[in-house]
A and B are shown apart, each in its own frame.
Chain A
Amino acid sequence: MAAPVSIPSSLLPLRVDGLIKRFGTLTAVNGITLELQSGECLGLLGPNGAGKSTLIRSIVGRVIPDAGLVTVFGDRADSTGARMALGWVPQELALYPKLTCRENLESFGQYHGLPHDALKTALEWCLDWAALTDRAQDPVKNLSGGMKRRLNMAAGLIHRPKVILMDEPTVGVDPQARNRIFEMIEQLRGEGVSMIYTTHYMEEAERLCDRIAIIDHGRIIAFGTKDELVRNAFASRSEVLARFAKVDDSVTIWVKDRGGVLENGMARFTIEHANEIAGLLDSASRAGHELADISLRKPNLESVFLHLTGRELRD
């Protein structure tokens, strides 16, 4: 699934090669290979339990893989140089609740071995980037959910890494706070930072990522830009979404016979031309299935995932 290697691995911000991680009988990561290009934002899109976080934790050295190799600018991921180059924003709020924002950032900066002056500069940058300068002296426990999320991100960037791994940074935040986080990430992208961004929100991947790897059951099942993914899955076909007034076994069979997928009462079909909709309507009517709603749309990443796995992203 990875792009052909044409750049020396020492120049690649990140390379994952044949990574396998098993937990007992469960294979969480099953032979993933990928490369992160310089200045790129690579999205890992997949449902909960797909193996995204395990992949990230393997890269950051918190999980020992059963097989495979991770290199950061050519160094093994567990080397000191790689650790300094990597910044990890974990999915959970990994902060000290009794410490202030400033104290949290200072602590993580010291863990990374930042000298005093560099720490001071980085601290001010992080507070400014996360829009927390005026709350710098507040204990974390007194912050709102969105502020905690932003601080959580800032703590992963205190040592100003060249490669950032963001593991679902918008989990549990409201739309306004999410937009603020998007702006922060776009600022980083503007500075040329290389980034892996995991999410199970299609909109986030579409907005932020240059290329997207769709992950399911520990494997990359599709890889490319959004347009490439859609084109590879649907070519020039469009998607028809049909909602039935009543869903029973006969509807399920009818949808399947017509090459569609029924999910949560919604049937999805792909068509080459818009005039195929008439045929669908006629067939449903003759089978005695009353349609409550029908619409035509261009396929998106959600459609790609459904097309490839038969399941929705947020199952």
Chain B
Amino acid sequence: MRTALIGLRRDRGALALSFILPIGFFSIFAVIFGGQRDTTPKISVLVVDEDHSAASQSLVRDLEREGSLRVKTKPEPKQGTEQPEYTAATAEAAVKAGTAPVALIIPHGFGENPISFGAPNPNQPTIQLLKDSSDMIAPQVVAGLLQKVAMTSMPDTMAEQGLKYMDQYAGGFTAEQKQKIDAGLEKLRKRESADQQAGSADSNRGMPIPVTTRDVVGENKNNKMVSFYAAAIGVMFLLFTASGAGGSLLDEAESGTLDRVLSTRVTMGTLLAGKLCFCVLLAFAQLVLMFTWAWLVFKVDFPGHIPGFVIMGISTAFAVGAFGMVLASICRTRAQLGPLSTLVILLMSSIGGSMFPRYFMSEAMQKAGLLTINAWAIDGFTKVFWRDEPISHLWPQVLVLLAIGVVLSAIARRLARRWEYS
């Protein structure tokens, strides 16, 4: 026991893995799922009021009062200039672009008959809920809150609609009326049963406010989350691969091979560039394999997105390759590299969205995630494979990943000076 304790005390890596990593992970999960009031994530929802009736304005107003929602009726001002309100088309484009996971379109004529009970009236205009189905949470929450707002913020409408319903189906509770009520209830039951069989798309039509839900992103995808996880898991393992490949530098330093190499015409700059190229190629090959597997087994449309994949793949591979070089340059020995890379990569992956989507996280954590390679890479691959965005839309992710790669390469070069000469 004594020797084990002494061994543990002198092995900083094992100590870090034993005590720091669990605390780090616990803290991250606690912040993400702990429900702290000031960090609870708000859901962005774009609202388009085409009706401009008293009822629709009341509905929008009360949605804006909802603490869990961040309602936007128009885009953020550009260079100080106010932007026009969203239309159905611009809101749909914004959801496709990932500005918000959900948009609500309140149609013309909504105010004439905002709430209904019983069977839907095919002629009655219904609110459209446009959603990005890569976010599994937001559309459900918005749909639920919409009904809640209807129940709590429009009591007069509710009463009016209730009386209408009673007048339509009950009357004076005569035998004939009873029969009508039964018939109405039967219709409701049938409607509910039909909704369950039809799936979630129409499940809100039986609610006080009829809602039609439509996927505007990924509606034609075979498997909604596979492309996300191919990128998310892929990037995490890329980081591990790159740190392992970068570790060959430490192996060479420890064995004395590095000294011998540097005594030839090879300079440290050339050597690092070579190692970086290897890391980048390895990481890119790993991504190709991951997405090919996703295509063959999970029907992700890989062949249809080759250009975007290549651009994102090279950018991501460059960033993770440079990351691997920095880790190797920081460490003194291979034994140090193992625990340190595990610690850093797992923390980056949890914050950056490789383990679970960042929309689960609080706003602060989502912003913190932008400090990681994972978040930028996943966002880029999501644009390519999920949102089908054109290559020109990838520039923020590509630029950031390339910048990360350049900065980390420069840091690695600087740190590697210690190996150049004694």
Residues on A lying within 8 angstroms of B by beta carbon are: 23, 57, 60-64, 80, 83-84, 86, 88, 90, 92-97, 108, 111-113, 155-156, 159
Contact = CB atoms under 8 A, between A and B. Distances in A.
A115 to B, nearest CB: 13
Contact of A92 (B256, B261, B266, B422): B256
Nearest to A104: B257
Contacts of A113: 264-265
Given A60-B263, A111-B264, A112-B265, A93 B255 contact: yes
B263 A62 contact: yes
A84 B265 CA distance: 8
A57 B422 contact: yes
A88 B422 CA distance: 17
Contact of B260 (A63, A64, A88): A88
A94 B259 contact: yes
B19 interface: no
Given A92-B255, A94-B257, A95-B257, A111 B265 contact: yes
Nearest to A158: B264
B422 A90 contact: no
A93 to B, nearest CB: 7
Contact of B265 (A23, A64, A83, A96): A83
B422 A63 contact: yes
Interface string B399-422: 000000000000000000000011
B416 to A, nearest CB: 15
A83 B264 contact: yes
Contact of B421 (A64, A93, A97, A108): A64
B181 interface: no
Q: Which of A86, A94, A96 has the most CB of B within 10 A?
A: A94
12 contacts: A57-B259, A60-B263, A61-B421, A62-B263, A64-B421, A92-B255, A94-B260, A97-B255, A111-B264, A111-B266, A113-B265, A156-B260
Contacts of B259: 57, 62, 90, 94
B262 interface: yes
A132 B331 CA distance: 36
Contacts of A64: 421-422
B257 A96 contact: yes
Interface in B57-77: none
Contact of A62 (B257, B265, B422): B422
Contacts of A155: 260
A305 to B, nearest CB: 27
Interface of B: 255-257, 259-266, 421-422
Contacts of B257: 94-96
A61 B263 contact: yes
Contacts of A94: 255-257, 259-260
Given A92-B255, A94-B257, A112 B264 contact: yes
- Which of B255, B257, B265 lies at the interface centre, i.e. has the most chain A CB atoms within 10 A of its CB? B257
Contacts of A57: 259, 422
Contacts of B421: 61-64
A108 B259 CA distance: 12
A93 B257 CA distance: 8
A93 B256 contact: yes
B260 A83 contact: no
A90 B263 CA distance: 10
A218 B24 CA distance: 50
A95 to B, nearest CB: 7
Nearest to A109: B264
A94 B261 CA distance: 9
Given A57-B259, A108-B260, 6 more contacts: A60-B263, A61-B263, A62-B421, A62-B422, A63-B422, A90-B260
Contacts of A86: 263
Nearest to A89: B260
Report the 3 A-B pairs with minimum CB-CB distance, sorted nearest first: A92-B256, A111-B264, A94-B256
Contacts of B263: 60-62, 83, 86, 88
Contacts of A80: 265
A170 to B, nearest CB: 17
Contacts of A83: 263-265
Contacts of A92: 255-256
A148 to B, nearest CB: 12
Nearest to B255: A94
A99 to B, nearest CB: 10
A112 to B, nearest CB: 5
Nearest to B254: A92
B238 to A, nearest CB: 23
A100 to B, nearest CB: 15
Nearest to B259: A62
Contacts of B265: 80, 83-84, 111-113
Contacts of B256: 90, 92-94
